[in-house]
Amino acid sequence: MTEASPEIATAVRVRYADTDQMGVVYYANYLIWFEVGRNEYLRAVGYPYSKLESEDIRMPVAEATCRYHAPARYDDVLDVRTRIAEVGNASVRFTYRIVRQADARLLASGATRHAAVDPGGRPCRIPEEVKRCLRA
């Protein structure tokens, strides 16, 4: 089921350690920033990972995509704009846009799909209360 969710922005500053020898952000760091955005999104809707885990729900990444539009560089301040694109019975799909604050340029976009599993790694249904929070 496709959902229309609010977009939540989380600011991150590019550290020197985030860049490669060419002076641009190393490509894998965008996936880390997706995780930062996802954590803050869940926190904002009242269901941080710690609460999910206390209810024996885990949400491992089952699929990830990232498209790079322009490079980020040291000391850039970026907005990781996160939203939920879909909430299913046993999975959630987040979408992301990483935008440089100084000029609003889109630097990267992508998505992650997460499977709901129990502590033993077996697929499980997402409880209705969690779905309601995610769709809010």
Closest CA to 12 of 81, 70, 106: 81
Per annotation, catalytic residue among 18, 20, 76, 118: 20
Cα–Cα distance for residue pair 104/78, rounded to 1 Å: 9
- Based on the residue annotation, tell me whether 20 is a catalytic residue of this protein: yes
Rounded Cα distance between 45 and 6, Å, is 10
Kindly tell me the burial class for residue 59, based on how many C-beta atoms sit within 10 Å of its own C-beta (0-12, 13-18, 19 or more). buried
Catalytic positions, written as ranges: 20
